[in-house]
Structure 1
């Protein structure tokens, strides 16, 4: 069911006066000290009434706000509740007239689903052309079956059926029709089995066995036995006949095994290879996966596996992981050769330009000073700061001062989508506000995005300014991209936990982009993205107030717990910020595995060889953002290398502080948004 807009806001106090007195609505007023907008306050009361099921009060207030800018949201809530009984023409007209509003897609889907539940198939078919929602596609197909409009339906039903996962229950009637119509052919059944195997959906694979000839099912039964034993006896399949189906099963099995143990997969493939007439592309795909996952695991046989993949089939991902393997071994000449094989869009990235410079210097191919490092040192990002440290240079940060006229900001503020977003924010409906703003920003030409950022900055909406500038490419508006929001609170909690405030800021900026009410798909909440389980545990350990998970979406409730958690991690990891950030992002279990399996020594090498791309990018981002916040707070910054002790030894290669200068107006700013 479509989420009610009233479910998107926090619990409100009953009654208008109490609501105002306790400032329950957390959206800012339009002007400091200005009187509340009566229409806005009535709008809030209407949502309270709807949330509490007081439909009489809701409808009474709704009728008085027809000229209010957010009146369509009242209509949305009304139509959402009555969607099963609203006349078709009325609903279609409302959706058509509000196609640019954020609520339109969700309301349309909810309405179409209600038509299906009511068995109103003709209305559903007339209004659901082009739907992409899987359940609705199936309901639309079912409607066509019921109404006898099945011309051309077979291919649609087959495309819905042939996927590597179980489909929604709404698809069952369609699939029953497909089977009875002879649409599940032997080749289609094997195609879906292949997809299910690749997705590691064992139960689905065995369910699908019913759709293949009985004499072929034994291969699936054998496959299931091999899979359950971790493919330990996969080489026994060399007794199988050589045909397209057996080769497909073995190819998928070898690729699944390679993910867990590339060396064993290579050994199994060597025993099977001569018994099957593999197509060249299939053979290369298996060898490519063996080489890739061998490199990810930093296995000693990686060079051998790489050599078996023809050079023309070494894609960017494979080359990057080959480079990381060589970096872990500090094979600098070979590393330089592999980076040279990367496509230009990869090798020209600052990541690989930095490591190429290191490879050239450490292999003796280039004598210091390195021109490449000199060039990188002019950039205000992780690799630029590392390069500057190595060369003993000041940090080159060249901020741009915003010069955007008020008239331009007012022009953007006058656009409907931004008006909707700002008013929803004042109403405390943050999720809807972000959706409206994002839709409006997506319609702007790139040149206007920095003006949208100026509007967001004027409104104190930090994350919208950050994202607008990130999408615009105007990355040197540092004052807006790295705002000193909640400076008093952050410094207080950092000091209480003996943390560098710049590091706390860098973590917050990386975790939530300064969104106080942020909530991730993993249920991490607030500025520092703390899960309720972690929050409760940390609060108990440190004697901090714990009033439930909702406090994590407030500055006052989030910062004490988040900073205490950072202090705990510092103690666990011997004051190594690199390991702390890794654990903060991926969890302590992952860091423990990496400490056992990745090369000890230089922190930058350890980070670059991490198997999780998110953490591999997260740690450098936190370090770069910390450096920029250090500059924003104090002007002089601690060198980034000083925040990167060697793994295990704790040795710090470069210490001290760097002055900040602006040597070039051609500087590239820091990574990310």
Structure 2
């Protein structure tokens, strides 16, 4: 039975058995006086709902907007008169202009007039930039300058290059323009392709020195844009050509070039020592990814030939040691031993300490932690493991004192500390009261009305853009009230984001929404899963955004991969079109819960292994289980070699605890609002 139902049933029976009708009434009054500590649905009137549009207008807009988003040039002459009072009507014109720009059939006067009328709309900056790009590509410089003078210019380098070219073409190359253009060229490498004519003009005018070109080439090499850097070779001095030629050739064949350097067939002695260190460090670190043994040999030889400084050599060796530590390789401690302790970076010190932690070398870990900086030592991770190491080395009093301080915090390591000490978990939830007047103002904001309607019609990307644009100057209090508004609309990822932007990390009712309970409660019960675990997973995977798409293709609330969705749908005997249906909660949630339940059964109800498998796949989770052991514990989690999965598991465990608390609070609230009638007397 789900946690919420269990807690609700228990509380009702307990109150009934004790005949605490008077206490129940008193608690109910307190609850109603302090809405911020409970669900807010009862405190929202219809005045906080977005304007209710004509259903026919909404349908007409939705159908037309979808056609336009498919790239069609729809005639809006018969559509717009039917949407005169509909808040999203301008979005049809916006998308039509975007299509016309793509086909290069736009009327310049009409788009200028449209942007002027809708200067405060969320789409303004996007449409303006696309229009400016179109004008720049056509070299319509007069219209370009008129557009930027009226509608502004973003920090986009491509558009700024067009702006400089437009000014030169229309206003001439004044001394001020020459200085501005040259400074722009120097300070914004690497530049986009649209700046090539500007670069050529500056070169012909003699405004760029060989030093300017050398600095640009260096910036491009640091950005790993080797071919673009090589294109500047002709403008460099012979000395600068020397290092660029070596660096470029060595990226193509590092071992051959480094051997040539060691054998004297290539000479970098005249290159500045710091630059030589930089380029050799870059080459050796990248070569070390695939050839670590040869790279260590190169470091020794280059140091002996005084071609690389001792500190740079240690930096490369540390880089190799850190990579070994990240993979938990057996030789990691030996690799760190080759670098003097005082020569290691703070990152190196931390990975050395993490290696000792994974190997449970507690006395050595305590010594290693002394080399971490204050910021590193202040994290929950190292506070917990330092206390654990003290405990393991007999310093139990100090260990307990440190754990007690950590146990007062709502975080993964705080929960671990509390569990060890047998203390209740600290949630530290803060009241975030609803301000009725403030909420009323926000609910009537034109931009937020548009954002809400876009959200309700399913155009979430546009809705989010409109929402953020409307709240671009919001204060923390604005964000909190906006969070309540989004929460009331069921737009949960925005309510979480709003609380975060307000800096209200303790606003748990906003940051950990109890969403989709009507669907999830029976699913959790059928799958024999804790509801808190499912909610935690959704919170971690998608932030309750049903339209979430990951870079690797995972979809929806529970971020299900299409192939996994197809496989699970066959088990559930439901017809599923993965690419579209997994973006719908009614499909995503049953599929995701079923898949999670299968992982829990596979790993004997171990949430750590199930979480690791959900994130990294069962194959990887199995390999970790074989390497670290069948029984999981906090140290097992630290040994996970994928940083993303390691953090994922910690987040899921912590979020599950928060959601267990949230569900218990909600069950208590429901019990107080819906008390059972008193039992028979006697």
Give TM class, smaller chain: 0.7 to 0.9
Deviates most, 587-596 or 531-540? 587-596
Which of 607, 616, 622 is equivalent to 2:637? 607
SS in structure 2 at match of 1:395: coil
SS in structure 1 at match of 2:396: coil
Deviates most, 232-241 or 623-632? 232-241
Looking at structure 2, the residues matched to 181 and 585 of structure 1 have their Cα atoms a distance apart, in angstroms, of: 56
The aligned residue for residue 561 of structure 2 is 531
1:269-306 deviations in Å (ceiling 9; x for gaps) = 11111223546775565455345434434453547647
Residues 411 and 511 of structure 1: CA distance in aligned 2, closer, same or farther (over 3 Å):
same
Unaligned runs of 5+ in 2: 1-45, 669-682
The aligned residue for residue 103 of structure 1 is 123
Maintained 8 Å contact 2:387/2:403:
yes
Q: Is 1:314 aligned to residue 345 of structure 2?
A: yes
Residues 145 and 57 of structure 1: CA distance in aligned 2, closer, same or farther (over 3 Å):
closer
1:62-109 deviations in Å (ceiling 9; x for gaps) = 245455433443442344345566676765565456444221121111
Q: Is 1:584 aligned to residue 602 of structure 2?
A: no
Looking at structure 1, the residues matched to 222 and 649 of structure 2 have their Cα atoms a distance apart, in angstroms, of: 31
SS in structure 2 at match of 1:622: helix
The CA deviation at 1:345 is: 3.2
Q: Is 1:342 aligned to residue 369 of structure 2?
A: no
Q: Is 1:117 aligned to residue 148 of structure 2?
A: no
The CA deviation at 1:527 is: 0.5
Residues 484 and 102 of structure 1: CA distance in aligned 2, closer, same or farther (over 3 Å):
same
Looking at structure 2, the residues matched to 533 and 628 of structure 1 have their Cα atoms a distance apart, in angstroms, of: 31
1:6-25 deviations in Å (ceiling 9; x for gaps) = xxxxxxxxxxxxxxxxxxxx
Which of 255, 262, 277 is equivalent to 1:238? 262
Q: Counterparts of 1:121-160 in structure 2 under 5 Å?
A: 121-125=141-145, 127-128=147-148, 131-143=154-166, 149=173, 151-152=178-179, 153-157=181-185
SS in structure 2 at match of 1:250: helix
Q: Counterparts of 1:171-250 in structure 2 under 5 Å?
A: 171-174=195-198, 198=222, 231=255, 234-235=258-259, 237-239=261-263, 240-241=266-267, 242-244=269-271, 247-250=277-280
Looking at structure 2, the residues matched to 252 and 575 of structure 1 have their Cα atoms a distance apart, in angstroms, of: 46
Looking at structure 2, the residues matched to 601 and 229 of structure 1 have their Cα atoms a distance apart, in angstroms, of: 46
Residues 434 and 54 of structure 1: CA distance in aligned 2, closer, same or farther (over 3 Å):
closer
Maintained 8 Å contact 1:630/1:636:
no
Maintained 8 Å contact 2:556/2:584:
yes
Looking at structure 1, the residues matched to 211 and 631 of structure 2 have their Cα atoms a distance apart, in angstroms, of: 53
Looking at structure 1, the residues matched to 100 and 534 of structure 2 have their Cα atoms a distance apart, in angstroms, of: 47
The CA deviation at 1:352 is: 2.0
Q: Counterparts of 1:257-656 in structure 2 under 5 Å?
A: 257-259=287-289, 264-278=294-308, 282=312, 285-286=315-316, 288-299=318-329, 300-302=331-333, 305=336, 308=339, 311=342, 314-315=345-346, 317-367=347-397, 370-400=400-430, 403-540=433-570, 543-570=573-600, 575-587=605-617, 591=621, 603-610=633-640, 612-633=642-663
Looking at structure 2, the residues matched to 454 and 492 of structure 1 have their Cα atoms a distance apart, in angstroms, of: 27
Maintained 8 Å contact 1:336/1:356:
yes
Deviates most, 554-563 or 612-621? 612-621
Looking at structure 1, the residues matched to 616 and 256 of structure 2 have their Cα atoms a distance apart, in angstroms, of: 30
1:540-583 deviations in Å (ceiling 9; x for gaps) = 46644222411011112112322233245446656543233233
Q: Is 1:61 aligned to residue 79 of structure 2?
A: yes
The CA deviation at 1:508 is: 0.8
Maintained 8 Å contact 1:189/1:208:
yes
SS in structure 1 at match of 2:78: helix
Looking at structure 1, the residues matched to 569 and 343 of structure 2 have their Cα atoms a distance apart, in angstroms, of: 55
Unaligned runs of 5+ in 1: 1-27, 638-658, 660-673
Looking at structure 2, the residues matched to 54 and 86 of structure 1 have their Cα atoms a distance apart, in angstroms, of: 14
Deviates most, 190-199 or 474-483? 190-199
Q: Is 1:80 aligned to residue 107 of structure 2?
A: no
Maintained 8 Å contact 1:326/1:332:
yes
TM-score by length of 2: 0.75
The aligned residue for residue 35 of structure 2 is none
The aligned residue for residue 22 of structure 1 is none
1:489-540 deviations in Å (ceiling 9; x for gaps) = 2233344444333222211111111112222333321101123233234434
Higher relative contact order (CA 8 A, sep 6+): 2
Maintained 8 Å contact 1:263/1:290:
no
Residues 323 and 217 of structure 1: CA distance in aligned 2, closer, same or farther (over 3 Å):
same
Residues 96 and 452 of structure 1: CA distance in aligned 2, closer, same or farther (over 3 Å):
same
TM-score by length of 1: 0.76
The aligned residue for residue 19 of structure 1 is none
The CA deviation at 1:256 is: 1.6
Residues 388 and 213 of structure 1: CA distance in aligned 2, closer, same or farther (over 3 Å):
same
Looking at structure 2, the residues matched to 593 and 257 of structure 1 have their Cα atoms a distance apart, in angstroms, of: 27
Residues 357 and 92 of structure 1: CA distance in aligned 2, closer, same or farther (over 3 Å):
farther
Maintained 8 Å contact 1:424/1:433:
yes
Looking at structure 1, the residues matched to 306 and 316 of structure 2 have their Cα atoms a distance apart, in angstroms, of: 13
Looking at structure 2, the residues matched to 249 and 264 of structure 1 have their Cα atoms a distance apart, in angstroms, of: 18
The CA deviation at 1:207 is: 6.6
SS in structure 2 at match of 1:527: coil
Looking at structure 2, the residues matched to 33 and 184 of structure 1 have their Cα atoms a distance apart, in angstroms, of: 58
Maintained 8 Å contact 1:527/1:555:
yes
SS in structure 1 at match of 2:582: helix
The CA deviation at 1:177 is: 5.1
Maintained 8 Å contact 1:49/1:58:
no
Maintained 8 Å contact 2:74/2:96:
no
Maintained 8 Å contact 2:48/2:440:
no
Aligned residues: 606
Residues 222 and 509 of structure 1: CA distance in aligned 2, closer, same or farther (over 3 Å):
same
The CA deviation at 1:431 is: 1.7
Looking at structure 2, the residues matched to 96 and 341 of structure 1 have their Cα atoms a distance apart, in angstroms, of: 59
Deviates most, 498-507 or 89-98? 89-98
Looking at structure 2, the residues matched to 413 and 456 of structure 1 have their Cα atoms a distance apart, in angstroms, of: 10
Deviates most, 439-448 or 549-558? 439-448
Deviates most, 108-117 or 204-213? 204-213
1:303-361 deviations in Å (ceiling 9; x for gaps) = 7647736748733x333323212211222233334434433333222222112211221
